[in-house]
Every structure is written in C-alpha cells, then in structure tokens.
Structure 1
Amino acid sequence: MSFEVKQGLFQLGFTDSHAILGVPLNAEFSDIRKRYTRIARRLHPDTCPFKNPEEKELAKQLLAKLVSPAYNRFSKESERKEYELLLKTLGERVVKEQRNLQVQSDIAKQLLTAANYQQTYETLLEQLAQKQFESPQKVLDVVGEISELNQVYLLRKAAKSGSTVAAPPPASEAKKAEPETPTPAPPPPPKKDSAVEQACNRAEKLMAIQNYAQAILELKDAIRQEPENSRCHGLLGLAYLGQNQPKLATPHIKRALQLNPKQPEALEAKKQLEKATVSKDKKSPQQKPGGGLFGGLFGGKKK
C-alpha cells in the first residue's frame, strides 16, 4: 500500500514531513516528538479506537509507511539539519514557481489574503491538525490541505522579506501555465541508516507502544556496537525511566550529555528524571506503573 499526496509542497517532489505530522514549519523538535507520540497511539493497532478491521489496517499502514518515516527525518539531528536546508531552498523555489503552483483549498486561499499571516497560519494549521487523524480514510486529504497551507506560508514569508509574490492561480489555470524556470534535479537519495541507527529507530517505536523491555535490548546491543553513540544512551535513559528505574537511567543520561550536551532524548530524559525526583520528594500516593515519558502520554499497562 502506497500513499501519495499531490497538493502543496508535494507538487514539487518534496515530502512535506511537517504536513504529515500536522506541525507548523517553525515547530521545535520537542513539540514534533509530542505530536508523533499522540499520533502513534491513535494509529497503532493496540491502542487505536477504530473498530472496523479495514480502518485498523489502514491506520497501521499509515503509521508504518507515512507517519513514522516523517518523524524519523526529525529524530536524527543530521537528517533534521539536511531537511531544514532543503526546506529553505524550497522556499526560494516556491517563489520562483508561484504562478505554476496550484492552491485548491479554501483554507490556503484564506491565508493568501490574511492581514496577520503568521497568526492566521498557526490558527488554521491547528484547526486542520485537530481533525487530521479522526478518520484514516481522510488523512491524506488533510495532509494535502496542510501542505498547501505551508506552501502559501512560504510565499507570504518571502513577501515579508521583500520578495515579489503573486497569488498562485486556480488549479485550472495552473495547468495551462508554462514553466518559467527548469525544474531542478531532485536531491540525492538519503544514505541508508547504519545498523545502530536502525536499532535506535526500532527502539523508539517500541517505546511509543510502551514495550520498554524490548527497546532496552535493542539499545544495549546498539551500545555494544557503538559505545560512544549519544543517541543510544539518551534513548536507553528514557527506556529505563519508562520502566521506573531511575538509577539505571541516570548513568546513560549523564553519558549522553557528556558526548553531546544538546542530545534531545537525553535532555528530555533529564527533565523527566527531575520531575520524578520532585514527585518522590512530595511522596505522591500510589504512582501508577508504566510512567516516564511514553507512559505519561500513553497511559495503560506496559507490554
């Protein structure tokens, strides 16, 4: 099963990972990560609310083939920087090819003429994101609308910086328009993940469904291969916190931050550890099992 979107930035052969996850183009990684865990819970077969077998299968495929690959572009710092660079280049390309790009949705057309484009963009995107995963059959339609919103946002942002911007024509006129500039060659295919990176990605997905034990096994094996991998240590710290084992989590969190003071998973784990320490000091009654980052978001028992 393949998923294809032809609206917005997808028109340019660009995979709009922001649109797939329903987050704004200026979203911080921590917000992207929170959004992903919410989506993962809704689409995963063990936690999704859909009763129809066809809907459950479609939700499962959307998670595996659309949502998780989009999140993986943000979860690794090197790929995130590469993506941000591509997005910047894409903004320049959108301006050059604006007369040939289609805008179909009313919500994107609304952004074209909004007085405060930044506030309007964030408000409209939030409205779309709230309904994005209500029905598996409508996910791609909403992704296309969000990508159109992102396309118009890049146009409005360019106008703010002094570039000349004209409203894209309706879809019927755009098909007749001649291209003003040749289409640049597509970027080279991304490098395949190393075995350690693949293990980290598998562990992250396991943690999203609270399978911390299997995630820990994946990460321990990865650390044996690359003892100085900061992401492995950061994720392992999060996994141990998910099992309510702060003593085991602490050395891995410290090691990750020694190797990379800005390592996102380690910083998140440190924050969770500090919260847990405060809660312990206050002697909160009957802490439920399966806590930690993913447990707090997902609830329920560990698997």
Structure 2
Amino acid sequence: MSLTIKYGLFKYDLTDHHAVLGLPVTADANTVRKRYLKLARLLHPDTVKVNSDAERQQASELLSKLINPAYETLKGKTHHEHQIVLEQTGKRLASEGNPPNVQSEMAKNLLKAGGNVDLAYAQALKALTDNQYKSIAACEQTIGELSELNLVYLMLKAGQGLRQAPPTPKAAPSATPSAQKAKPPVVPEESSPVLAYVRRAQEYITKNNFAKAVLELRDGLKLDPKNSTCHGLLGMAYLKQNQVSMAKVHILKSLQSNPEEAIALQCKAVIEKKLGQPLTAHSAGSNSSGGINAKNKAAQDAKQKAKGKSDPKADGGGMFG
C-alpha cells in the first residue's frame, strides 16, 4: 500500500509523523506512547476489524510502514531534532507573510482563529483523530487534513513568536533599524534558493542520516554561503557525528549571520556543556585574526624544524582547513 500525500507538511517534503499518529505537534513522550499503543492494537493483524483480507493487509502495511516509523521518530533521540525541523518550517512560512494554500475547511477555519488558535487547533484535531483509522480507505485523506492543521498551527505560533521577539529594546530609537538588520537571514527571497536543500537535509536528520544531510547543506551553502539555517543545521549534523571541531565552525558562522538562529543556539549550548567553557570565535579558531596567527605560527614551526627543534605547544594548535 503506497500513500502519496501532497497536503500540509508533506507538500514541503517533510514526513508529518504527528499527523500519521494523529497527535498535536506539542505532544510529549507519554502522549506519543499512549497513542501509538492504541493504534497498534487497532491495526494489528490479529485484532483489526476489517471486511476482507485485502483490508487486513493494508492495515498491516499502515502499521509497519507509517505508524511504526513515526513512533520511532517521536519517541527517541530524534524527537528533539524533528521538533526543531517543524519550528523552522513554521518560521519560514510566517516570514513569507502569506497564508499557506490549504484545502480542508478545518485548516481554513484555523487560519481565521485569531487568539483562539490553541483551542481551535485542539478541537479540530479531536474531530479528525477520533476515527482516524476506522476506515482504511479514508486514512490517507485524514492524514493529509491533519497535516494541514499542523502546518497552519506551526505557522501561526511561529508568527506570534516573531512578533514578540523584538520588544526588548523598546525605548531605544534605534530598535526598529536593529530589528530590520536581524531580519534578512529569514527573508524568503534570500533564502529561497537553498530551501530545497534545507528541507532535504532536515528529512535526512530526522532519519539519522547525517552524512547525506551534510552533503545537501554543503550544496546549499554554495548558493547562499551566509545562510544561517544552513550553517546551523550543518553544525548539528557534524555534532551528531561527534565532529565537534567542524560543528563549532558552522555554529559560529550561523550565529554571525543570525544571532537568534534557534538550531545554532541549541547546538552551541550542547558544545559549551561538553567543553566546559564558552564557545567563541577565538576558541573555534575562526576569528578574523586566526589566519594571520596561523601564518605566523606556521613560519615559526618551519624555522624550528629547520633547526631540528620541536615545540610541544605547537603540535596542539587545533587548526581547521
């Protein structure tokens, strides 16, 4: 049984695991587990209530090919990474300024919910999930409608967050210009060339395929070398492979382009905890004077080698290519 869902988050080349399980994007680990156990009992070949062997087979495939992988993603270590991917998608949509093109009436109504978005979202989800897999034939449409709700909700919540972010420097006259300076990294016109690369990389990250994510992000940076999301995700991918030195370089580059880049800030905190010290451009060897210092150091090393000497401090320089 093959599903070709083209609505909601699926339209952006993301597998909406929350829609597959019939969960809100805010669901915690305990809620995920309870929902999975309920669906597993409902669709298991020994307990499923169907009218034919063909439907029994379809139910079994839904369980093995959609529901089990969704649960594996949302229950384990990849849950946090998947949440970051969803948040970034919501922020991108919010930054575009135009509502996404949705088909279902529930999603269209959610776009108009205003201040009642959380309640409207919860009610719409419940209406769809109560009987989500009762009809095997209709499950694809239901998953698509759920994903549209998730898409709209992520965009609306991200939009609220973006509007609430700048208030800190309220009294300063220069607050508006500084806010505008911080904005360019998320402007769609600038980031659009790399969006496809970022989306594919995000999907690879949720599947723990970090090597392929790195390749996608490197290609994306060729189009936009200062893209903060690209650098942030690349830092995460390197960090997940324990390549801390490379991770530091890209995390700092991400924060140079956008000091508020969520992925980079979270990875920075992880690295600082590992190292037991703040992560700075100097500590990563990526500051502007690094090239000059490296050249001077290389010249000194060459002189010492010519004299047959060895400087033990020079061997631990930790330079990056």
Q: Which residue of 1 aligns with 2:27?
A: 27
Q: Aligned-pair distance for 1:56?
A: 0.9
Deviation, 1:81, is: 1.5
CA distance in 1 between partners of 2:113 and 2:99 (Å): 21
State the alpha-carbon separation in 2 of the partners of residues 75 and 56 from structure 1. 26
* 1:102 counterpart = 2:101: yes
Alpha-carbon contact 1:8-1:147 (below 8 Å) kept:
yes
Q: What root-mean-square deviation, in Å, do the aligned CA atoms of Structure 1 and Structure 2 show?
A: 2.2
Cα contact 1:19–1:147 (8 A) shared by 2? yes
Counterpart code for 2:64: A
1:44 maps to which residue?
44
- Counterparts of 1:179-218 in structure 2, within 5 Å, are 180=189, 181-182=192-193, 183-185=195-197, 186-187=200-201, 189=204, 190-191=207-208
Deviation at 1:126, TM superposition (A): 0.8
Aligned length: 178
Cα deviation code 1:33-85 (max 9, x no counterpart): 10011111111110101131111111111111011110100221x21121112
The one-letter amino acid of 2:126's match is E
Instruction: Give 1:191 deviation, angstroms.
Output: 3.4
**SS of equivalent to 1:145:** helix
Residue identity matched to 1:104: Q
Take 2:208 and 2:160, find their aligned partners in 1: how far apart are those partners?
A: 35
Determine if contact 1:3/1:66 at 8 Å carries over to the other structure.
Answer: no
> Residues 125-164 of structure 1, C-alpha deviation per residue, up to 9 Å, x if partnerless?
0111012111111111001001100111112212322449
State the SS of the aligned residue for 1:156. Answer: helix
Counterpart Cα distance in 2 of 1:97 and 1:40: 39
**Cα distance in 2 for residues equivalent to 1:100 and 1:118:** 17
Percent of pairs identical after alignment? Answer: 38
Match of 2:57 in 1: 57
TM-score of the superposed pair, with normalisation by structure 2: 0.52
1:55 and 1:81 map into 2 onto residues whose CA distance is: 34
Distance in 2, matches of 1:159 and 1:79, equals 25
Contact preservation (8 Å) 2:32, 2:75: no
Alignment TM-score, normalising by the size of structure 1: 0.55
Structure 2 residue aligned with 1:86: 85
- Per-residue Cα deviation, 1:151-190 (whole angstroms, up to 9, x for no partner): 11112212322449xxxxxxxxxxxxxx852324111633
Q: Which amino acid aligns with 1:148?
A: E
Structure 1 residues 100 and 108 mapped into 2: Cα distance closer, same or farther (>3 Å)?
closer
Distance 2:132 2:53 in 1: 20
Q: Is the 8 A contact 1:7 1:102 kept in 2?
A: no
Q: What secondary structure, in the 3-state scheme, does the structure 1 residue paired with 2:138 have?
A: helix
Counterpart check, 1:144 vs 2:144: yes
Q: 1: CA distance between counterparts of 2:36 and 2:12? A: 25
Cα distance in 1 between the residues matched to 2:135 and 2:104: 19
Q: Distance in 1 between matches of 2:21 and 2:37?
A: 10
Q: 1:132 maps to what in 2?
A: 132
Q: CA–CA distance in 2 between the matches of 1:16 and 1:119?
A: 21
Letter in 2 for 1:103: V
Higher-Rg structure is 2
Whether the 8 Å CA contact 2:117–2:153 is kept in 1: the answer is yes
Contact persistence 1:10–1:16 (CA under 8 A)? yes
Q: Do 1:11 and 1:101's aligned partners in 2 also have CA atoms closer than 8 Å?
A: no
Counterpart amino acid of residue 9 in structure 2: L
1:213-260, Cα deviation, whole Å (9 max, x unpaired): xxxxxxxxxxxxxxxxxxxxxxxxxxxxxxxxxxxxxxxxxxxxxxxx
- Return the alpha-carbon distance in structure 1 between the equivalents of residues 53 and 134 of structure 2: 16
Runs of at least 5 residues in structure 1 that lack an aligned partner in the other structure: 165-178, 193-303
* Superposition deviation, residue 100 in structure 1: 7.8
Aligned to 1:74: 74
SS at match of 2:72: helix
Larger mean Cα displacement after TM superposition, 182-191 or 42-51: 182-191
